[in-house]
Amino acid sequence: MNQQTTSNSTPSADVTGRQIAIVGCGPRGLYCLERLCYELFRCNGTGPSCQPHHITIVEPAEHCGAGAVYDLDQPAWLRMNFAAKHIDAWCRNDSLFDDELNLVDWLADRGDGHGEPEAFMPRAVVGRYLHDCFCKVVDRLSLIAEISIVRQSVTDVFQNEGRWRITGTEGYCVDAEEVVITVGHEGWRESTIAASEGVSGIELTPVFPVNIRLHLSTIPAASVVAVRGFGLSWIDAALSLTIGRGGKFDKVGDQLKYYPSGSEPKCIIPFSRSGRPMLAKPLTPRIASGVDLARIWQRGRTQISEIAAPLNALSIGEQFWPVVSQCARAAWSLVNRQNGHEPSDGSPIDEFFELWCCGKQDAATVADAMRRSVAIALGQHPVDAAWALAEAWRHLYPATVEKISHGGLSAEAWPAFTRIAQEMERIAFGPPAENLRRILALIDAGIIDLRFVSGELGLTAEQQPRLRAEYFEMEITHCVNAVIPSPLNVSQNGPLAPLLKRGVIRRLHGTQGIEVDSKGQPVNDGKTDTAGLAILGRPTEGCILGNDTLSRTLHQHVNHWAASVVQRGCPVLS
């Protein structure tokens, strides 16, 4: 295997065979490499007709497979919101090898005590697993292909004499017949929407990487810190400014108590447009043990699959959402009865969701919602409408992805669906209960102040940063930006922006995600041939629903891409 850091040459002129390039090699790039390995081994087994291949991986992060999000050196309090039992880098239905371990088995094989199936792993642990899987795939591929790893960021991809030319930040250049762009978050970038929210003139510190951005030298002890955003990254920021500064949590009864180190901020103040929190993800065995809900979810998935596509705004309100609501109601009733709690009359699911969505929430309402979700997640409180809706959304999500991706939702229906999806993100895809318990302990310790969760950031008459809510105002010393860029906000320094500018790729009307087909090949106006180019993962969000996942089963685009690439270069399979 050849590893390069900087080169101005064009390796494709120096090697024989077909050139394939993977631009960006976090988890999605790893999955592309793994499927490419599988297909090339299949092709190789058919005889000598499969021509030699040279595979170039262009990834700036030190550890391919992990990328920036799953960086191996990040602290342990930055955790997944996806249980360990669901993390598996391999395709179980199509494999030629028997040494492919899922995360839980990989941890057990190493004698690591983290390997509880229901646990929410530190992201660094998952990063080590993904990088190990990458190394295994590279070792296999090296037997049948040449591999180069280039540690640079890509700035452009364009057509050049029948191939795709890739250029990097340090002058690197390579031509390839096949290119797949899997750049994910495109590194740690600041959100670009701050200025439009009236906070221009205020310096915003990004959250990631936390060991640099939130270091004591950047945000001193006793600072008054506002945090823009109230999602998962906000929790990462709050924990990095407390436990990351030497603070400790101890269990006192059923609660956690925080013991400060003296190095944390005086106050951490989240603020967001809605003020609505993320709710804790439950430990399923503690809640629904012995209750079989599979029939409810299967019926719901079938009902969603039978809705005529493309769905319009009326379909969302009269067909799609009623399926989610009815499944949630059925699960809520069944689990409560099983646990000896007689469900109340009425329709608590729709009542809860309507109340949840109407207007901004105050500090007391937010804290109560978080506490209740933690108690339910740990099996200390009967399930409620929020739990039932979250379970229904998670279990029906694969059918939703299948129905809505690739134009299954009309352009005029996207606003209605997006409103539902954004709220369900908070309700169904929140943090592990352990991390939310820590946030509650910081609230109880007076370090986190929720009075401004629906507040606004601005400047005082003296041009000092301040937060303002309906009844309160507070001057702040630092502001952290915990809103990561949307999948629609492509980096102006990466390969997607110039492709969009030249019209090689386009956004799907209504969703604004990059439009691709089932193999990831961009769809455009037909004036530019995109054969040999593919875009997979986060930038296609909307065209393909649900890209922010490690799941190998939710989408099949990677599998289709790899099969098509090898088929074009292996006449026996054509």
Profile the chain (574 residues) by mean pLDDT over runs of 10 residues. 48 66 98 96 66 92 96 96 95 87 95 82 97 97 95 96 94 95 83 51 89 95 97 97 98 94 98 94 71 93 97 96 97 85 72 91 95 94 94 97 96 95 97 96 98 90 87 93 89 95 93 95 93 97 94 96 91 55
Q: Which residues pair with 150 in a beta bridge?
A: 4, 58
Which two three-digit tokens encode residue 305? 């699959």
368 with 313, same domain: the answer is yes
448 with 409, same domain: the answer is no
45 with 144, same domain: the answer is yes
316 with 391, same domain: the answer is yes
378 with 460, same domain: the answer is no
Q: Among 17, 26, 29, which residue's Cα sits nearest to residue 520?
A: 29
Which residue, of 481, 501, 521, is where some domain finishes?
A: 481
81 lies in some domain: no
d(CA 19, CA 51): 11
pLDDT for the residue 437: 97
CATH number, domain of 59, equals: 3.50.50.60
Domain hosting 337: range is 284-428
> In this structure, are strands 248-252 and 163-168 parallel, antiparallel, or unpaired?
unpaired
CB neighbours of residue 115 within 10 Å: 19
326 with 388, same domain: the answer is yes
79 lies in some domain: no
Which residue, of 441, 465, 481, is where some domain finishes?
A: 481
d(CA 15, CA 23): 19
At residue 377's C-alpha, the angle toward residues 422 and 384, to 5°, is 70
348 lies in some domain: yes
pLDDT for the residue 479: 95
41 with 164, same domain: the answer is yes
- Count of helix runs (H) and strand runs (E) in the chain: 16, 18
| 154 alpha carbon, distance to own chain's centre | 21
d(CA 265, CA 478): 10
Which two three-digit tokens encode residue 539? 């930038």
pLDDT for the residue 47: 45
Global pTM? 0.93
Question: HSE (CB half, 13 Å, CA atoms) of 219?
Answer: 34
pLDDT for the residue 5: 44
The CA distances from residue 69 to 74, 112, 141, in Å, are: 9, 22, 25
91 lies in some domain: no
d(CA 373, CA 269): 21
Question: HSE (CB half, 13 Å, CA atoms) of 439?
Answer: 32
d(CA 37, CA 29): 12
Please name the residues in contact with 449: beta carbons below 8 A apart, sequence gap of 6 or more.
Answer: 267, 268, 269, 363, 474
389 with 314, same domain: the answer is yes
pLDDT for the residue 84: 94
327 with 461, same domain: the answer is no
235 lies in some domain: yes
Which residue, of 383, 407, 428, is where some domain finishes?
A: 428
173 with 27, same domain: the answer is yes
107 lies in some domain: no
Question: HSE (CB half, 13 Å, CA atoms) of 140?
Answer: 22
93 lies in some domain: no
Q: Going along 98-211, which residue ranges are E strands?
A: 146-150, 154-160, 163-168, 173-176, 178-181, 204-206
265 lies in some domain: yes
179 with 244, same domain: the answer is no
177 with 35, same domain: the answer is yes
At residue 47's C-alpha, the angle toward residues 43 and 50, to 5°, is 50
pLDDT for the residue 13: 46
> For the chain, how many structural domains are there in total?
3
